[in-house]
Amino acid sequence: MALNGYRFHCRLATAIVIALSLLLLVGCGGLGGSATSAPAAAVSLAKGNLSFGAVAIGSSATMADSISNNTSASVTVNSITGVSSGFQVTGVTLPLVLAAGQAASFNVKFQAAAAGDPSVTISFEDQNAQTLASLSASAEAAAAATLSLNPSAIAFGSVAVGSSQNNTVTLSNSGGSDLSMNQATLSGASFAMNNLALPITLHPGDTTSATLTFAPTGIGAFSGSVTFTTTSDGANGTTVLDLSGTGIAGSGGTLSASPASLSFGQVVVGSSSSLNGSLTASGAAITVTSASFNNSEFALSGISLPANLPAGQSASFTVTFTPQSSGSTSASLSFSSTASNSPASQSMTATGTAPVQHTVDLDWSASADAVGYNIYRGTVSGGPYTMINSSLDSTTAYTDSTVVSGQTYYYVVTAVDGNSSESGYSNPAQAVIPSP
């Protein structure tokens, strides 16, 4: 089989066009069949399958069902078996006599005692221990909603009087049911909290955050706390975040960050770019206690805090920008210290750009009797090959937009006829993807 040829043209960043020729087809047959419905059961359940979903540990849930006698004679239910794993049947007294055509209601209750996904088959039996009808019941016993704090306590360390330091706490629902946070009570002088809008409902796995600020009003140790009040499954709870910090005298010196602004330019989403800066102490020795960004796409490295800077000395640091999405962004980096002008700040700007997307365009000559084609790709000539089309391609062209920069691919095509018979592979065609 001969390769018809291949050509290249632009499509998005790069597109490669390859022409392939195909092998002939062979035929195959199909299958047929029929089905008939089953007769109605003599004794039946209205539902027969009860799914309780998620039930918090320590809680219970109840679902209703009914059992019917569909015969012309009375039926007696003498026993109910299979009740275990926290399930129980209520609302029915044994023996239960059902007259012809009569139905009786009952309830199935699930009491969640331990985490897991229990299921049971409950059988209604007659006096001969013969099963009259069975139902399946399943549930998911999930841990009760729990408010988790990260960190569990915040120690601000030493902060100069007249300056402030921020820290963030992440609040998450680590349980299996919804958690409502209704109130957050702050205690302790010199502490403040913001960026938390209440009330809020956290679904299982959800998180939110709050910003805590320590601005000492005098020299010495300070302590405080935040008490978060929550409600879940009708029960109230409290979780406490302890706060501590020490106010120290300012040094009288000043701290400056250089350059005043960092410009990262354009950076491809998923990659990183780094720029250097420095801190300089003037007038007196200064202790740089902490640093914080207001944008999570930027990160600080190259400096260990707290850092002591003698008067006239400098310390270098590195800021790295890793864009998570396309578009322009900005940030501010704040350094808290014992300087009289604390915090010292540095601004930065950057733009995230979308990565280059390459595509490969394939086309081939039509094959006689073909109703469609399958496209296969590999990284080695001769295979193995993997089919990349999700459904039969009725045209003689295909665009592969899942290629990776710098990779070499080999493509083959098969033809499929009206009997679903598939030909052998065409001869392979090579595509070399540019980098980037």
Per-residue pLDDT of the chain (436 residues; tens, 9 = 90+): 333 433 333 333 444 454 554 433 333 333 334 333 334 579 999 998 999 887 777 778 899 999 999 999 999 999 999 999 889 999 999 999 999 999 999 999 998 877 778 999 999 999 999 999 999 999 887 667 789 999 999 999 888 877 788 999 999 998 777 889 999 999 998 999 999 999 999 988 899 999 999 988 878 899 999 999 998 776 788 999 999 999 887 767 899 999 999 999 999 998 999 999 999 999 888 889 899 999 999 999 999 998 999 989 999 999 999 999 999 999 999 998 888 888 899 999 999 998 888 999 999 999 989 999 999 999 999 999 999 999 999 999 999 999 988 899 999 999 999 999 999 999 999 999 997 6
Contact indicator for 22, 414 with CB cutoff of 8 Å:
yes
Q: Of the candidates 60, 86, 55, which has an alpha carbon nearest to the alpha carbon of residue 175?
A: 55
CATH number at residue 200: 2.60.40.10
How confident is the model at residue 11, as a pLDDT?
39
Contact indicator for 247, 217 with CB cutoff of 8 Å:
yes
CA atoms of 213 and 198, how far apart (whole Å): 18
Q: For 174-188, give the DSSP string.
A: -SSS-EEEEEEEEES
Contact indicator for 78, 126 with CB cutoff of 8 Å:
yes
Q: Of the candidates 96, 110, 130, 13, which has an alpha carbon nearest to the alpha carbon of residue 53?
A: 110
CA atoms of 429 and 422, how far apart (whole Å): 19
103-111 vs 60-69, strand pairing mode: antiparallel
How confident is the model at residue 373, as a pLDDT?
97
SS (H, E, C) 271-302: CCEEEEEEEEEECCCEEEEEEEECCCCEEEEC
Contact indicator for 319, 262 with CB cutoff of 8 Å:
yes
Domain boundary among 123, 142, 161: 142
Does residue 158 form part of some domain? yes
How confident is the model at residue 143, as a pLDDT?
65
CA atoms of 178 and 59, how far apart (whole Å): 13
358-364 vs 14-20, strand pairing mode: parallel
- What amino acid is encoded at 332 in this protein? S
Residues 178 and 271 in one domain: no
Does residue 414 form part of some domain? yes
- Strands across the sheet with 191-194, in order? 147-150, 165-173, 207-214, 191-194
Does residue 29 form part of some domain? no
Residues 267 and 299 in one domain: yes
Does residue 43 form part of some domain? no
Does residue 34 form part of some domain? no
Residues 162 and 220 in one domain: yes
How confident is the model at residue 351, as a pLDDT?
96
Tokens of 387: 């089919």
- Measure the N-to-C terminal CA separation of the chain; round to a whole number of Å: 34
Residues 265 and 279 in one domain: yes
How confident is the model at residue 158, as a pLDDT?
85
How confident is the model at residue 234, as a pLDDT?
66
Domain boundary among 218, 248, 278: 248
Question: How many other CB atoms are there within 10 angstroms of residue 124's CB atom?
Answer: 25
Residues 411 and 386 in one domain: yes
On the CB side of 291, CA atoms within 13 Å amount to 27
Residues 400 and 308 in one domain: no
CA atoms of 106 and 87, how far apart (whole Å): 13
How confident is the model at residue 8, as a pLDDT?
32
CA dihedral of residues 7, 10, 14, 16 (deg, nearest 10): -20
Residues 138 and 170 in one domain: no
Count of structural domains, the chain:
4
Burial of 288 (0-12, 13-18, 19+ CB in 10 A): buried
CA atoms of 258 and 277, how far apart (whole Å): 6
How confident is the model at residue 337, as a pLDDT?
86
Tokens of 401: 């937009």
User: pTM (2 decimals)?
Assistant: 0.40
Residues 238 and 154 in one domain: yes
How confident is the model at residue 40, as a pLDDT?
54
Does residue 428 form part of some domain? yes
Tokens of 195: 């960026």
Does residue 33 form part of some domain? no
Cβ contacts of 128-133, under 8 Å, gap ≥ 24: 129/79, 132/42, 132/43, 132/67, 132/75, 132/77, 133/41, 133/43, 133/44, 133/45, 133/48, 133/67
Does residue 48 form part of some domain? no
Q: Which domain holds residue 263?
A: 254-353
CA atoms of 423 and 365, how far apart (whole Å): 14
DSSP classification of residue 394: -
CA atoms of 258 and 112, how far apart (whole Å): 60
Residues 338 and 262 in one domain: yes
Domain boundary among 142, 160, 187: 142
Residues 237 and 270 in one domain: no
Residue for token pair 């005298």: 249
Residues 269 and 330 in one domain: yes
Residues 282 and 209 in one domain: no
CA atoms of 292 and 240, how far apart (whole Å): 24
